[in-house]
């Protein structure tokens, strides 16, 4: 696989923690602010998302994305760092744990625990949202400036979308449109199913009790496939719990190493 330069940033000092991002850069921002008070937080954009280029000539499966992140570790001086990701990033974090190239992994509402209809619903919803934002163009700020507009745009992702700032909501919508790897990754993810494994490192899977994109019954599947992992219920949180309760997510990450 050709190696590409992934976009990343570093904040804080202390032991490193890698945050794997895709469409959720704005959602991670308040959590990173908290974590950087006691950790070095290394945030990386997955291939094809944020400021990272797509994988050249390679189908962007979850496994291929994980392989690229593992290669990236050595280019930035990281050796077996702990990782965390949400949704697609959560699945990548679990695959890195399966490959035994990380010290620990935390997956927030990871994809891949779905059935065919569940995958079609979640990925179809994201595709519809992207089409809607493309249609709005520069008028997205009109939608996100009001609590009602933010609720209409993010009701599947956040339990309390009206509490998002207008700036964060608008940035999230723009990131959805500008990510060049979105469609190819969406197609590749349709057939991804997490298979069980016994991790050799600590693994935590956390699920919001108000997740409307990958409903929490998928958390039961995760518990069956990964019985050795720690399973956490995030009461009152949605699919992107970083937006709903950044303090709780920061505490979860600092308490799991």
- Residues 199 and 107 placed together within one structural domain of the fold: yes
Residue 45 confidence class, pLDDT cut points 50, 70, 90: very high
Query: Is this prediction's pTM over 0.75?
Result: yes
- Residues 80 and 200 placed together within one structural domain of the fold: yes
Q: Which of 158, 182, 206 is the last residue of a domain?
A: 182
- Residues 123 and 247 placed together within one structural domain of the fold: no
User: How much is the average pLDDT of 105-125?
Assistant: 96
Tens of pLDDT along 24-43? Answer: 889 999 999 999 999 999 99
User: How much is the average pLDDT of 206-217?
Assistant: 94
CATH number for the domain spanning 52: value is: 3.40.50.1820
Q: Which of 161, 182, 203 is the last residue of a domain?
A: 182
1 located within any domain: no
- Residues 89 and 132 placed together within one structural domain of the fold: no
Number of domains present in the structure of the chain? 2
187 located within any domain: no
Domain around 176: 117-182
- Residues 177 and 50 placed together within one structural domain of the fold: no
Tens of pLDDT along 118-134? Answer: 999 999 999 999 998 88
- Residues 46 and 125 placed together within one structural domain of the fold: no
- Residues 32 and 99 placed together within one structural domain of the fold: yes
Q: Helix/strand/coil (H, E, C) string of the chain? A: CCCCCCCEEEECCCCEEEEEECCCHHHHHHHHHHHCCCCEEEEEECCCCCCCCCCCCCCCCHHHHHHHHHHHHHHCCCCCCCEEEECHHHHHHHHHHHCCCCCCEEEECCCCCCCHHHHHHHHHHHHHHHHHHHHHHHHHHHHHCCHHHHHHHHCCCCCCHHHCCHHHHHHHHHHHHHCCCHHHHHHHHCCCCCCCCCCCCCEEEEEECCCCCCCCHHHHHHHHHCCCCEEEEECCCCCCHHHHCHHHHHHHHHHCC
- Residues 32 and 107 placed together within one structural domain of the fold: yes
């Amino acid at each position: 696989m050709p190696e590409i330069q992934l976009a990343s940033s570093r904040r804080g000092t202390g032991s490193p923690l890698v945050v794997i991002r895709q469409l959720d850069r704005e959602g991670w921002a308040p959590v990173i602010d908290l974590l950087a008070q006691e950790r070095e937080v290394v945030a990386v954009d997955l291939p094809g998302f944020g400021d990272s280029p797509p994988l050249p000539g390679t189908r962007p499966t979850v496994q291929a994305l994980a392989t690229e992140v593992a290669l990236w570790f050595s280019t930035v001086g990281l050796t077996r760092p702990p990782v965390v990701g949400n949704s697609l990033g959560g699945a990548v974090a679990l695959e890195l744990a399966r490959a035994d190239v990380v010290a620990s992994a935390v997956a927030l509402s990871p994809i891949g625990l779905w059935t065919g209809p569940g995958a079609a619903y979640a990925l179809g919803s994201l595709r519809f949202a992207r089409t809607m934002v493309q249609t709005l163009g520069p008028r997205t700020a009109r939608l996100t400036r009001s609590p009602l507009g933010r609720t209409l745009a993010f009701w599947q992702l956040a339990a309390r979308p009206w509490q998002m700032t207008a700036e964060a909501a608008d940035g999230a919508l723009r990131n959805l449109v500008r990510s060049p790897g979105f469609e190819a990754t969406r197609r590749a993810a349709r057939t991804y199913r997490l298979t069980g494994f016994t991790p050799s490192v600590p693994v935590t899977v956390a699920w919001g009790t108000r997740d409307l994109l990958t409903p929490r019954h998928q958390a039961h599947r995760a518990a069956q496939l990964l019985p050795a992992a720690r399973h956490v219920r995030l009461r009152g949180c949605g699919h992107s719990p970083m937006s709903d309760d950044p303090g709780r997510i920061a505490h979860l990450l600092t308490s799991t190493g």
